[in-house]
Amino acid sequence: MTSVAKNKAYNRTAERRLRETEFLAAFALVTTGADYPGAALATFWETVLINQFHDILPGTSISEVYSDSDREYEDLFAQLDSANGQWFGAAVALAKPTADQFGLFNFVAQERSAQVLLGDDQSLVGTTLVTAGGSVPVQEFVRADGSAAFGAVTANLPSMGWTSAQIVTITPPKLKSALSVSKKHLENDLVRVEFDRNGEITSIFDKQRGREVIPSGQMANRLIAFEDKPMAWDAWDIDRYFEEQYWPLADAKATISVVEKGPHRVAIRIERHYQASRITQIISLQTGAREIEFDTHIDWHEQRTVLKACFPFDLNRLRGSIRNPVWPRQARHPSQYELGQGPI
């Protein structure tokens, strides 16, 4: 449960981008002698830390605060993303791409395959992405906000490293894939997902383990609107009786269409309406992936309403622990709906 989600997304994006910039700049300093942008990074971090102050990050400030916060984050991103900005300056110093090349960076501590987005230029239609891991066709990926970008899935990006890449017009080898899609299902070689006519998930079948993940008779991706009228402190409290008045979005008709057919990813688009609001989802499954991705864009015009996405899973064992589940922990704390913490 959250409010002012845009601000939380900006905060997390800023943290990630600054960590990447620090990594690139430190590596460039050691390997090429490039200047380390310490003063600029300190200024950027001050901006991020100020915008983590209560009540900004929790989402309980007045609207004028978020106008200022959005502008500060967007200025930070513009500086990092500019052609002569700190991020790109360090990246170019490290990768040293030629005029027709660019670098792909992996900022996690393990080798991985990853989706690479190349932009929305229509000249990318029918092209091929070439890296040290091989040649793969470029596909159009659709987003829930109505935009789209071309890209591909590349293999064997080195841990905490980079590789050179190039866009060419040669015909790539055909990819072997078990991907399939319709308005009622997504499937690859590991997972099959089935939907009903309302866009709710009736089945997630794990092919490797040969088991159903959704409990019998239940639905996942079930969107429900709840009345949110607490006794006091409207910006903070969700009272324990909020679940008594609710409206499943499945009561209204959903529009479902297939928007991606591979070769890297298949996806369906689901559009629902609730009163004056519109909820659009792109639900996708990538080749070789166990994860089902949900990209949700909400054009929200309601007040005093909580929207909840329900995902019941038939799990009988967890690794690690959840200290604070998302339900009342004890009878004396009936309204403390808390997010889980710690490893799972």
Can you give the pLDDT at residue 340? Answer: 46
Structural domain tally of the chain?
3
Position 31 in a domain: yes
Residue 338's pLDDT is 52
pLDDT at 140: 97
Q: Which domain holds residue 66?
A: 1-96
> How far out from the chain centre does Cα 86 lie?
25
Q: Is position 195 within any domain?
A: yes
- Whether 319 is covered by a domain: the verdict is no
List 203's β-bridge partners, or say none: 194
| Angstrom distance (rounded) from CA 101 to CA 132 | 12
CATH number at residue 248: 2.70.98.30
Please indicate, yes or no, if residue 201 is contained in any of the structural domains. Answer: yes
For 56-88, write each residue's pLDDT tens digit: 998 889 999 999 999 999 999 999 989 889 998
Judgement on whether residues 207 and 258 belong to the same structural domain of the protein: yes
In this structure, is residue 326 part of a structural domain? no
Neighbour count for residue 313 (Cβ, 10 Å): 11
63-81 and 86-95 are packed helices; what angle lies between their axes, rounded to 10 degrees? Answer: 30
Run means of pLDDT, 10 residues per run, the chain, 344 residues: 84 97 94 93 98 90 95 96 90 84 91 91 93 91 97 90 90 85 98 97 96 95 94 83 92 95 96 97 95 96 93 74 55 57 42
Tokens of 257: 């269409």
On the CB side of 68, CA atoms within 13 Å amount to: 11
Domain boundary among 125, 153, 175: 175
| pLDDT, position 176 | 84
Cα–Cα distance for residue pair 252/186, rounded to 1 Å: 23
Domain identity same for 192 and 293: yes
pTM (2 d.p.): 0.85
CATH code at position 145? 2.60.40
188 and 140 in one domain?
no
**Co-location of 237 and 304 in the same domain:** yes
Tell whether 322 is covered by a domain.
no
Whether residues 267 and 280 fall in one domain: yes
Degrees, nearest 5: CA angle 58-6-301: 100
Domain boundary pick from 69, 96, 123: 96
**Maximum C-alpha span of the chain:** 67
Final residue belonging to a domain, choices 73, 96, 119: 96
Residue 25 sits in the same domain as residue 43? yes
Q: Say if 330 falls within a structural domain.
A: no
Q: 85 and 147: one domain?
A: no
Same domain as 266, residue 187:
yes
Contact 160, 104 (CB under 8 A): no
136 and 231 in a single domain? The answer is no
The pLDDT score that the predictor gives to residue 343 is 43
Give domain status of residue 239, yes or no: yes
Same domain? 212 vs 305: yes
* Predicted local confidence at residue 85, as pLDDT: 92
- pLDDT value at position 341? 44
